[in-house]
Structure 1
């Protein structure tokens, strides 16, 4: 745990519960502000994010400041023992700033400058905007550096998007000059001889545009990398005065799911961004109760995202900075959470390593685009609502299990998920255009382990691998320099690696490896991939497991979407295709490399095949289960580990009750009821149990 985050744990007893509070919207309604403080205690909320969109309330005119309202709110929160995550307000700038300094407004890919409005409509490169944000951040830091309520800085809000102004174009060219050193090298790495797009002067290079160049994949990839780097650079400019004035107060910024693209946002590489924050936080907004996905399947996908963010800093918990206590206002169908799902989903985040359950928003806005977004306090303005009572119940539950805060999760298995790989796959004109399902494939492999009670990290390919027994790298299309060597070293030392179709296709600049795929992974996997067949949705094939005794998996399984034609070179064949012209060809292989093994799945296997395959690997590798029992369908388990105790979360994501068995000799205390847990018990629909056992 880093030193700055440890200061939070010293100040806060238990979990953070509360969320975004926007008192600047209610300054003309003092009676509502007073009522808020009464309701906060009834809701068992102890932490509030302030000032996220408060710039115009603090600085209504350039150089004229009004901190009185914020002083008052900070003091009143401190008086009742609450904590403040104080935000820097760069996510939405005042109208006067845009009017006086139009260069701060973002330019779109079509090269048109935006008008004032919405959020994040600003240029990260603009010297004016950097100066203005640094100035107001310094004033905030100097004013509140010793305030007893301050526990953390919330820097901006949901960074995202891109600017294509002249300042950003020049910054992009400078970024490219630093990376490639010469136009000759850039032209080679971008393969610009294709379509006669060779650049002869740096000034000819621009960012991708709908009416211009957007088909050079390496250029698109570098632009996304530049946007991440420029966003991080802007963030570092924002936190410079915070670090100087409040060196012991941790900083965070709220990440957003996996989001390679979300509406106006251009996705960021959060693996890279996470290195610059003291604690990782993210905004969790799953669409519960959707007809096309079972609750348990959606919960597994949410668990994947929790574990992705937790794994960015394995030595400490992460934070859920935003979630909704009821519904949102931006899904296609804005469905309410059914009774019980809020408690279950809140404790799911805790089970996966979160130290908070914070909401957007505390009180529903009276106007604006989010006035119908869920909140703890509705427009009715009182505590007599179902949502408020469920929030209060979550607050009480978090108080009852408060000793779990600060504990961590230990995993022997990891799935590799890489944002750059996602960008490159999405941009590739191949396979099923618009539906290559990279992250879904990662989640399918993850789910096979999780449903069998195995804790899983979700990591970058650059992460240290030697802590794991099992690494799964689905669809690793892009293999950056050093990745193949690190994977091979992992296997040689005794690790087990599982990879899938369409791996080892291109290098970091999206250039195909000459000599065929899987490129630098060929020796490690012991195969050569010749072709890949994309199947229509109604097409299916079958694989037949070989009865060669090497891997005790028998029978037939369905495969869909993609079937790769591979040639085993130094690998053993474990399964073959049953149909089509590639009948009898290898579909699953393994290669022994010194002390470890590398498996290759040449097709998109059905979930049952993955489940059976990993059941054998779990036993073979002796991976430690959270509970050494067979879990009922729809039940998920997680374990957090403290100094003297372990805490087991058992979660029922079914709409019906289930009987849950415990291992022989099990002895623990259910923390929410105080009951001794030894044998079989019943979990209600959407029920959750938290059990404390001695290590």
Structure 2
């Protein structure tokens, strides 16, 4: 459970060890003014807590925990294991990861730990258990936050031994490993387990399945670290104190589906570019993905109140954009909106990364906007905490397919998996269709439409699941280069699994025809980019659009067989939106509100209808029914229509004699 007593969590990472202790009282005063309900402590505090091996310096944290509790501010307490102190690397160099060239990744930044190092795990467990014993029942504790943004990759010797153990558990025998890895190619047959190493620097292209399995192993090895610390803090805390770790938005390194099953709360760090005209769509996509992993309310662990510090040019957020994206996250299921960080640092690598309280201090525009967000989240809390969204459309996403499809020696380096997924989500977002994300093997029976932007790798269970979904009456829309390989990255006979070819009405897939940056294919009323395919259709398939001109003239670009659609190119954005919206409408899916002006997003969460304007002009939205509607954010009543200004947001409840419901 994230929210309590109808209050959304609002706050951010608090790093008071960077400041004199006399600043703390002023921080608390300003937190109360901003409506902060929780702070995250200790994320990068290992050297402060354990300045020497075995030493414990908890006095400063005792005072902070008591201070927060005295002022009604909850604490999300982090284990500090993301950044070991320099002495650990000096005394135990085996705790430092090595890259694929064998070079040591030294201390001096953060996350310099070798996930499979027994010494690292021993020291991490010791500091975690002592924290849990001391604070597990502190009245300020609201949640445990394990580590931070797990992203370490290690090719060292201990990782190599752990990788071999992982492979033994997966394959059992070397014969099975050799078969799965296709080691008959290039004389790569391994005779003993000692021949097996991580995919280190090689003369030329590396074994693709070895690389794929190492990605799987790395995700699992990091998850072992998380689970070990999770179990330690649970042992010393009440059962109602949840445990989380923060995902990075659309991050390739972790199998988010597997990790989410082991968390009590799913949280994410999301940083859309304020100069991106589709930044709001990206924010919505990350919200949809995280909510789907959580299967309910979720948490924004980090976002920026202003500029970040790691883009080439770091632009601040224009007036109102922080509020818009914060409320958009709530509209899409978040029960917590937090930032990195509370007070902007004056030293260190992130001193130009914004804070809720920036260098301009309490008179700054950023802090004024933060205070408004805090007040509005307080108003929203009783109406939204614990409520859900209902989606009739699922977007399929699988990390294994991403890992396999993104390797070298593929038909086109221009096909970037995350860009294709984002293009399809954009089409659905602009059609105002609320979506969940799902794994290809999940139960899909509750969705009227399932879309597969691209899934190069599909195992047999996933394929049977999709076939059964269509046979059960569902509408399936898939994009190009889907169903090509099995779980071992072995190309299936015919270039696409025969069961999928039958579902989509594809008789033969002759060739893939990837497109250069300047190339387009004409498909009747629309154009396609990035990719095309030489297909012949089965006799009972309908050709929705055919290629016009070029080598593929007259061949199907989009075809369908019953409720199953296949797109062998990436249509232009308007065409993709039209195709997906048409398939959804045919399946009985409708947006929450029709006739919306350009740039306005409509989302229904629980009993509230959120309208979010991503433009800078003035628009008017016509409201359904008789009304009136009460804007929970302001208390204003609206009948017939509601005006929205620059980055405007309303959260509407249908007014009745009581508080009402939309």
TM-score interval (norm. to shorter):
over 0.9
TM-score, normalised on structure 2?
0.96
2:537 maps to which residue? 568
Q: Deviations over 1:267-286 (max 9, x none)?
A: 11112111111110000111
1:538 maps to which residue? 518
Counterpart of 2:178 in 1: which secondary structure?
A: helix
Q: Deviations over 1:463-489 (max 9, x none)?
A: 221110100012211111311110111
Equivalent-residue separation in structure 1 for 2:447 and 2:619 (angstroms): 33
Q: Deviations over 1:109-166 (max 9, x none)?
A: 1112233221111111112211111111111111112211101000001111211121
1:244-263, aligned counterparts within 5 Å? 244-248=235-239, 249-260=241-252
The structural deviation recorded for 1:214 is 5.2
1:84-163, aligned counterparts within 5 Å? 84-163=75-154
Equivalent-residue separation in structure 2 for 1:243 and 1:44 (angstroms): 29
Counterpart pick for 1:225 among 216, 220, 228: 216
Q: Deviations over 1:412-446 (max 9, x none)?
A: 1011122211111110423332x203222222222
| 2:5 corresponds to 1:19 | no
Counterpart pick for 1:306 among 255, 277, 287: 287
Counterpart of 1:462 in 2: which secondary structure?
A: coil
Counterpart of 1:98 in 2: which secondary structure?
A: helix
| 2:640 corresponds to 1:679 | yes
2:604 maps to which residue? 639
> Given that residues 3 and 335 in structure 2 are in contact (C-alpha distance below 8 angstroms), is that contact kept between their aligned partners in structure 1?
no
Counterpart pick for 1:360 among 311, 335, 340: 340
> Given that residues 524 and 591 in structure 1 are in contact (C-alpha distance below 8 angstroms), is that contact kept between their aligned partners in structure 2?
yes
Counterpart pick for 2:402 among 405, 417, 422: 422
Q: Deviations over 1:435-464 (max 9, x none)?
A: 203222222222222222221001221322
Equivalent-residue separation in structure 2 for 1:449 and 1:667 (angstroms): 29
> Given that residues 503 and 517 in structure 1 are in contact (C-alpha distance below 8 angstroms), is that contact kept between their aligned partners in structure 2?
yes
Where do 5+ consecutive residues of structure 2 fail to align? Answer: 655-660
1:586 maps to which residue? 556
Equivalent-residue separation in structure 1 for 2:165 and 2:204 (angstroms): 19
The structural deviation recorded for 1:396 is 0.6
> Given that residues 109 and 208 in structure 1 are in contact (C-alpha distance below 8 angstroms), is that contact kept between their aligned partners in structure 2?
yes
1:29-40, aligned counterparts within 5 Å? 29-40=20-31
2:71 maps to which residue? 80
Equivalent-residue separation in structure 1 for 2:634 and 2:266 (angstroms): 31
Counterpart of 2:526 in 1: which secondary structure?
A: strand
> Given that residues 138 and 242 in structure 1 are in contact (C-alpha distance below 8 angstroms), is that contact kept between their aligned partners in structure 2?
yes
The structural deviation recorded for 1:211 is 4.0
Counterpart of 1:30 in 2: which secondary structure?
A: coil
Counterpart pick for 1:523 among 499, 502, 518: 502
1:689 maps to which residue? 650
Q: Which moved more, 1:162-171 or 1:181-190?
A: 181-190
1:282 maps to which residue? 268
Counterpart pick for 2:51 among 56, 60, 65: 60
Q: Deviations over 1:93-124 (max 9, x none)?
A: 11222222222111221112233221111111
**Taking structure 1 as reference, are residues 609 and 378 closer, same or farther at Cα in structure 2, changes over 3 Å only?**
closer
Equivalent-residue separation in structure 2 for 1:618 and 1:188 (angstroms): 42
Equivalent-residue separation in structure 1 for 2:76 and 2:201 (angstroms): 40
The structural deviation recorded for 1:664 is 4.0
| 2:569 corresponds to 1:603 | yes
| 2:173 corresponds to 1:182 | yes
1:331 maps to which residue? 311
> Given that residues 183 and 200 in structure 1 are in contact (C-alpha distance below 8 angstroms), is that contact kept between their aligned partners in structure 2?
yes
Counterpart of 1:445 in 2: which secondary structure?
A: helix
2:161 maps to which residue? 170
Equivalent-residue separation in structure 2 for 1:349 and 1:484 (angstroms): 33
The structural deviation recorded for 1:338 is 0.5
2:657 maps to which residue? none
> Given that residues 105 and 121 in structure 1 are in contact (C-alpha distance below 8 angstroms), is that contact kept between their aligned partners in structure 2?
yes
The structural deviation recorded for 1:492 is 1.0
Paired positions, count: 652
Equivalent-residue separation in structure 1 for 2:584 and 2:499 (angstroms): 28
Q: Deviations over 1:481-522 (max 9, x none)?
A: 311110111111111000111111111111101233244412
Q: Which moved more, 1:218-227 or 1:251-260?
A: 251-260
Counterpart of 1:427 in 2: which secondary structure?
A: coil
TM-score, normalised on structure 1?
0.91
Q: Deviations over 1:328-355 (max 9, x none)?
A: 1111110000101111011111111111
| 2:34 corresponds to 1:43 | yes
> Given that residues 284 and 323 in structure 1 are in contact (C-alpha distance below 8 angstroms), is that contact kept between their aligned partners in structure 2?
yes
Equivalent-residue separation in structure 1 for 2:317 and 2:512 (angstroms): 42
> Given that residues 3 and 9 in structure 2 are in contact (C-alpha distance below 8 angstroms), is that contact kept between their aligned partners in structure 1?
no
Counterpart of 1:575 in 2: which secondary structure?
A: strand
Where do 5+ consecutive residues of structure 1 fail to align? Answer: 261-266, 545-555
Equivalent-residue separation in structure 1 for 2:431 and 2:553 (angstroms): 32
Counterpart of 1:651 in 2: which secondary structure?
A: strand
1:202-241, aligned counterparts within 5 Å? 202-211=193-202, 215-241=206-232
Counterpart of 1:372 in 2: which secondary structure?
A: coil
> Given that residues 217 and 424 in structure 1 are in contact (C-alpha distance below 8 angstroms), is that contact kept between their aligned partners in structure 2?
yes
Give the RMSD, CA atoms, in angstroms. Answer: 1.6
Q: Which moved more, 1:655-664 or 1:84-93?
A: 655-664
The structural deviation recorded for 1:666 is 4.5
Counterpart of 2:529 in 1: which secondary structure?
A: strand
Equivalent-residue separation in structure 2 for 1:101 and 1:616 (angstroms): 60
